[in-house]
Amino acid sequence: MRTREHQIKTRLDDKEFVSFQAKLRKTGLSTEEYLRSLIEGNPPKELPPMQFHDVLCELRQINVNMNQIAMKAHTLNFIDAPFYSQCQKELQTAVGKIMRAVYG
């Protein structure tokens, strides 16, 4: 059963329609999702460029590699663990900042 029973129709001129469609495409949302977001006071954000996802995957892989190195280094006892831990935290903080900058 549909929970949304009310439908709104509106008319746009060509310029408004083209502008609306362009904004809609940039978000990747459906028309309904886009309008609901606006109504709720949450302006939709544009999708990040594809390079963002590539860079994020690389950063995550670096983090995995750092964890593997840390485990081995801890076992062999030849690395400055506090410094390494600090670097790892900085990497995780950077990834968090990137995520917040793009997704809010």
Reduce the DSSP state of residue 6 to 3 states and report it. coil
Parent domain of 86: 50-103
| 97 lies in the same domain as 56 | yes
Q: How many domains does the chain have?
A: 2
pLDDT tens digits, one per residue of 47-101? 887 778 878 887 888 888 788 888 888 788 877 777 778 888 888 888 888 877 7
| 88 lies in the same domain as 63 | yes
10/80 Cα distance (integer angstroms): 64
| 38 lies in the same domain as 23 | yes
pLDDT tens digits, one per residue of 7-44? 999 999 999 999 999 999 999 999 999 999 999 999 99
